[in-house]
A and B are shown apart, each in its own frame.
Chain A
Amino acid sequence: MMHDQETVLLQGHIIDSLILAKVLDTILMMGGMFDLEDVQIGKTREEPSRARIIVRASSAKLLGEILHAIQPHGASIESERDCRLSPAPADGIFPDEFYATTHLPTQVRVGDQWVEVERIEMDLGIRVDSVGLTARTIPMGEVTSGDLIVTGREGVRVIPLQRPRDRDVFSFMESQVSPERPHGQIIGDIAKRLVQLRTGFREGKTDSKVLLAGGPAIVHAGGREALTWLIDEEFIHVLFCGNALPAHDMEVDLYGTSLGYRHAAGRVVPHGHEHHLRTINRIRGIGSIEAAVKSGVVKTGIMAACVRRGVRVVMAGTIRDDGPLPGVITDSVEAQAAMREAIPGIGLAMLVASTLHAVATGNLLPASVPSVCVDVNPSVPTKLADRGSFQAVGLVMDAASFLRELARELGAGL
């Protein structure tokens, strides 16, 4: 991605002298990109022309070299001001007029240079370290009295996403979600991405982790085996869920039911509704899910695969939870922070069958991370796809069918 950019102005008789052409050619030849923001062409021979050019480059160094090369031809950097900074008046309170972030790549001007805002996420503030010349998003609750927070819009720029290079489902700017949309092609494209990302993950490349945020419907609807297979095959590296997904997953292992239904036969088992409570109680007795798996109490399923594969699991609780299981974070601010910590390095997010976790995860993701939202209720993918990202794909589909089809596409014999 070409994140480093600078706006330059070029004026004078730049058209007939080919100075504009020379400057644009120079930018391209050096490996940069440009957008002509506006061109005012002199109406008469004497009247000068004027062009405003956004120069983009893949690194600050290359941008510097390009600017150095085009400045002798008259390209002058548009004078821009530093962003305004105000100290936070108290712990947990932003200064008035704080700048609220979007999920798009953002830069702030500090000490006459553009600084990339780290850990971009929507609806946060930006804290600037004016000594170290760094900027980072910060949630309202984490601000400390005196922190320097960006206020107003001056000296802040949001960079539109570049269209991704891969010619797949993520590269089309479609936020339309429709139950009529054919799924096969989309799932095929997701599978290709998963294969690429797994290769990258194994080679230790950045941004190659896959996140799955899921609800218990995965287990109820019969997607447990497929998801277990995907985890075992190292296609998934981070799992966000609540209390229910692990509870019902382990209920299947211990009692053969999920929420009391016989998992294989699909019939209600007498007193089956107690099974998930007994499962939770058992795990609480053991102390942790990890210990339950390692001691051989829980042998199969999603959580067992996560423990075997070292998948990072963040379990965020809600007010209707039973138990909850050990490891479920019951403070929602803490849970949000734990999820946020797991976001850097994610290259693809799959949000499956959970309105709550899908929306929470969507809010945490930068727009640059491709995401797939799968739900039988069209309102969930629609909500997620409306985030203004190129790379959000919505599928109106049953969770189990999605996961099974995806696993089969990747070679699972399910």
Chain B
Amino acid sequence: MFKKVSFLTRPTLARQDAPLPWQGRSERKVEGALFVVRRDFEWHEDEAGGLFHHPARVGAMRRLLVCPPDYFAIEYEINPWMRRSNAVDSTQAVRQWLQLMQVLEQDVGVVLERMKPVPGLPDLVFTANAGIVVGGKAVPSRFRYPERQREEAYFEDWFRGQGYEVVALDSGSYFEGAGDLLGFSDTWFGGYRQRSDIRVFPTLSGWFHREIIPLELVDNRFYHLDTCLCPLSGGELLYFPPAFDHYAQEALAERIDPVRRLVVPEAEALRFACNAVCVGKHVVLPAGCPETESLLTLHGYNPHPVLLDEFMKSGGSAKCLTLALD
């Protein structure tokens, strides 16, 4: 059922939600029409897994997909961070990656699934862009740049090999996986304009029965949503507002009350402080972000800084190097 609205004759439209307990109310004016939207702002413990790095149930082990950086290098330039002249120190990169794995396994207690690296695919190491995995279903990415499109088949094969039901998006639109789709248990956020296409979100929303709030990314240094926004397990949001247009900033501000919005300072945002892996109360983030660490500590989280500057040469950090699995 829907209401047909004519702006000339029916200036007011009130939306009736299901009778849920709600703790917030937003009123929005769109050109003379008042949309009154009742909203449930309660945060739930994650039950669906998938997009979230914290365990589905207390005591359950979180599984993450990773790919060793054997062939990691800067072989092309598809974001402002990449400079072919700025060569990767492979030994350092391997050392940093192993350090990250150690923190994830030993300090955070996750289970790592290692994918076989492929020569000629330097960015396969950034498994966050493999796709998304939710409820036994995997949606492989559709990369915007041909340089990374060659990765699609390998990720898809890996998902099939693990027994996931692979659901494919139309080849006409771009979607860069968990790099551009993050969220809480009932609300997901979709980054668009830089890499992913806004049109994929209604499709994904239909498949997974989740609300997906599209957020426009306006700064090409923050080219994926996970470079500037990180939902935390307790319902807080770690983010860098100037990476978003003002509608997205307002949508986030309306959705999440101010005490739960942890704003990262610019200098640390540029070190990819938001590219963090949150599992329960553990947050693994790039080293060199002391203010972010303090913010996290203040909110009861346990920050684990890891030096990942070799991966920053490619515009990636902790979160980009992992994909949450079921």
Binding site for B on A (CB under 8 A): 11-13, 15-22, 24, 28, 34-36, 38-41, 43-46, 48, 50, 72-74, 76
Judged by a CB distance under 8 angstroms, whether B211 is at the interface is yes
The reply to whether A45 and B7 contact each other, CB–CB distance below 8 Å, is no
Quote the shortest CB–CB distance from B97 to chain A (angstroms): 35
Question: Residues of B contacting A17 with CB < 8 Å?
Answer: 213-215, 247-248, 251
A35 to B35, CA, bound (A): 16
Question: Residues of B contacting A16 with CB < 8 Å?
Answer: 26, 37, 39, 211, 213, 251, 254-255
The reply to whether A46 and B30 contact each other, CB–CB distance below 8 Å, is no
In the complex with contacts A13-B211, A73-B198, A20-B248 CB distance below 8 A: no
The reply to whether B214 and A74 contact each other, CB–CB distance below 8 Å, is yes
Can you identify 19 A-B contacts, CB atoms within 8 angstroms? A13-B202, A15-B28, A16-B254, A17-B248, A18-B28, A18-B248, A19-B214, A21-B30, A24-B31, A39-B13, A40-B3, A41-B13, A44-B18, A45-B211, A48-B202, A72-B193, A73-B198, A73-B216, A74-B198
The reply to whether B199 and A76 contact each other, CB–CB distance below 8 Å, is yes
Quote the shortest CB–CB distance from B51 to chain A (angstroms): 15
Question: Residues of B contacting A24 with CB < 8 Å?
Answer: 30-31
The reply to whether B2 and A72 contact each other, CB–CB distance below 8 Å, is no
Binding site for A on B (CB under 8 A): 1-7, 13, 15-18, 26, 28, 30-31, 33, 35, 37, 39-40, 186-187, 192-193, 198-199, 201-202, 205-206, 209-216, 245, 247-248, 250-251, 254-255
A73 to B245, CA, bound (A): 12
Question: Residues of A contacting B31 with CB < 8 Å?
Answer: 24, 28, 34
The reply to whether A43 and B247 contact each other, CB–CB distance below 8 Å, is no
In the complex with contacts A16-B26, A39-B5, A46-B247 CB distance below 8 A: no
The reply to whether B211 and A46 contact each other, CB–CB distance below 8 Å, is yes
Question: Residues of B contacting A38 with CB < 8 Å?
Answer: 2, 4-5
Residue of B nearest to A73 (CB): B198
The reply to whether A12 and B205 contact each other, CB–CB distance below 8 Å, is yes
- Tell me the interface secondary structure of chain B in the complex: mixed
Q: Of A12, A19, A40, A73, which contacts B2 at CB under 8 A?
A: A40
Q: Of B37, B39, B198, which contacts A72 at CB under 8 A?
A: B198
Question: Residues of A contacting B205 with CB < 8 Å?
Answer: 12-13, 46, 48
- Of the candidates A17, A45, A48, the one having the most CB atoms from chain B within 10 angstroms of its own CB is A17
A36 to B5, CA, bound (A): 7
In the complex with contacts A22-B247, A41-B3, A46-B40 CB distance below 8 A: no
Question: Residues of A contacting B255 with CB < 8 Å?
Answer: 16
Question: Residues of B contacting A72 with CB < 8 Å?
Answer: 192-193, 198
Question: Residues of B contacting A50 with CB < 8 Å?
Answer: 2
Residue of B nearest to A17 (CB): B213
A26 to B33, CA, bound (A): 17
Quote the shortest CB–CB distance from B309 to chain A (angstroms): 33
A231 to B251, CA, bound (A): 63
Q: Apart from A16-B211, A17-B247, A41-B15, list 9 A-B contacts with CB within 8 A.
A: A13-B202, A19-B198, A19-B247, A21-B30, A36-B7, A36-B33, A41-B2, A41-B35, A76-B199
The reply to whether B198 and A12 contact each other, CB–CB distance below 8 Å, is yes
The reply to whether A18 and B13 contact each other, CB–CB distance below 8 Å, is no
The reply to whether A45 and B213 contact each other, CB–CB distance below 8 Å, is no
The reply to whether A18 and B251 contact each other, CB–CB distance below 8 Å, is yes
A62 to B187, CA, bound (A): 36
